[in-house]
Amino acid sequence: MIRTEGLTKQYGRITAVDGIDLEVREGDVYGFLGANGSGKTTTVRMLLGLVLATSGSIEVLGRPMPASGRDVLPQIGSMVEGPAAYPQLSGRTNLALVDASGPGGGRRTRAGRIEDALARVGLDGVDKRPVRAYSLGMRQRLGLAAALLRTPRLLVLDEPTNGLDPQGIREIRRLLLDLNAAGTTVFLSSHLLAEIEQMCTRVGVLDRGRLVLQDELAHLQRPTGRMVVRTPDVAGVLGLFDGQVEGQDGDRLWIRVDDPATLNARLVGAGIRVAELAPEKRTLEEIVLEAAETSGDRR
């Protein structure tokens, strides 16, 4: 759905985005992670043709961007750096203007499309008050509604749950997952690790303009082949698994084993008291920090 090669953007002598190769596949919920200022937004803007790349190529929906923007963009719903609307107009009027300003969709079916989109984001009950009077959450939902208006094949969303309460965040997550299940590819840019971890199937990590990691989340979080054992009998374990213990932190030990069941049986057999026994699983945070450190070292 999205493929970039050597995508680079320089503002004067500052390199905001440095040769990144993104790959988003059809059906992905792609999490695009990065700290503020890491070049996330610039990348998203380049994907949408708002900012022109200094070098490198972009393909979205199999077509070059921004050259094919006229054909590609109508199939994309997006929210870039927060929602925006004409403050003096109502949410419905805003959506009507958005709908009317581009190609596709007749005037007759417009009202229906707008009501659909509003219903999806939970704004169907909204009255005629101007957007000026909306809460941050309502604006966020309105922005999402605008993105969903054209039933897009690809959603490019920048911090979509910004300003929402926990209830709202859950609703939006559900909505995005539903859309994804129905075949929409979702490209989600965020600095919230938890959000990405909970929703995404694929992750790309941007650090100071470089893509330092891009992989399936499941693959990144696959078991590492080590077990974590917490025990008051540390010495006993060390004796038993000499050479296999790869790390120790107080009463916590990391042991490389092929089969967890055998490990368990041997511990029990040796009469060692075990408080906790689990396969080691890295959090996304650890993965991201590690990737960033590695890339920082390389530099």
Partner 1 sequence: MIAVELRKLVLSRRTWVTILLIDALPTLVGILLAVTDLGPRPGTGPAFLSAVLTDGTLFPLAALAIVLPLFLPIAVAVTAGDAIAGEAQQGTLRYLLIRPVGRTRLLVAKLVSVMVFVVLTVLVVAATAYVVGVLLLGSEDATTGATSVSGSSLSTQELAGRTMLALAYAMLCMLGVAAIALFLSTVVTTPLAAALGTMGVLVTSTVLLTLDAADVLQPYLPTRYWLSFVDLFRDPILWRDVERGVLLQGVYVVVFLGAAWANFATKDITD
Tally of CB atoms within 10 A around 14: 8
Amino acid sitting at position 256 = R
50 versus 175: smaller Cβ distance to partner 1: 50
46 versus 291: smaller Cβ distance to partner 1: 46
86 versus 223: smaller Cβ distance to partner 1: 86
Contact at 8 Å (CB) between 106 and 87?
A: no
Closest contact distance (angstroms) between CB of 97 and partner 1 is: 6
Pairing of strands 245-249, 23-24: unpaired
Closest contact distance (angstroms) between CB of 207 and partner 1 is: 21
Closest contact distance (angstroms) between CB of 17 and partner 1 is: 12
Provide long-range contacts, Cβ within 8 A and 24+ apart, for 173-179. Answer: 173/198, 173/199, 175/120, 175/121, 175/144, 176/29, 177/29, 179/148, 179/155
Closest contact distance (angstroms) between CB of 176 and partner 1 is: 19
Closest contact distance (angstroms) between CB of 69 and partner 1 is: 5
Name residues whose C-beta falls within 8 Å of residue 109's C-beta, 6 or more positions apart in sequence: none
How far is 212 from 205, CA to CA, in rounded Å? 6
Nearest alpha carbon to residue 54 among 90, 97, 16: 16
Q: In terms of DSSP H, where are the helices of the chain?
A: 40-47, 69-72, 91-101, 110-120, 136-148, 166-181, 193-199, 217-220, 234-240, 260-269, 284-298
Contact at 8 Å (CB) between 14 and 49?
A: no
193 versus 206: smaller Cβ distance to partner 1: 206
H or E element at residue 7: strand 2-11
Closest contact distance (angstroms) between CB of 107 and partner 1 is: 10
Q: Is the peptide bond before 166 cis (omega within 30 degrees of 0)?
A: no
110 versus 252: smaller Cβ distance to partner 1: 110
The angle subtended at Cα 58 by Cα 55 and Cα 60, nearest 5°, is 165
46 versus 196: smaller Cβ distance to partner 1: 46
Retrieve residue 5's tokens: 């090669």
Closest contact distance (angstroms) between CB of 170 and partner 1 is: 26
The residues binding partner 1 (CB under 8 A) are 42, 45, 48-52, 69-70, 73-74, 76, 78, 80-89, 93, 97-98, 100-102, 146
130 versus 279: smaller Cβ distance to partner 1: 130
54 versus 244: smaller Cβ distance to partner 1: 54
Closest contact distance (angstroms) between CB of 134 and partner 1 is: 14
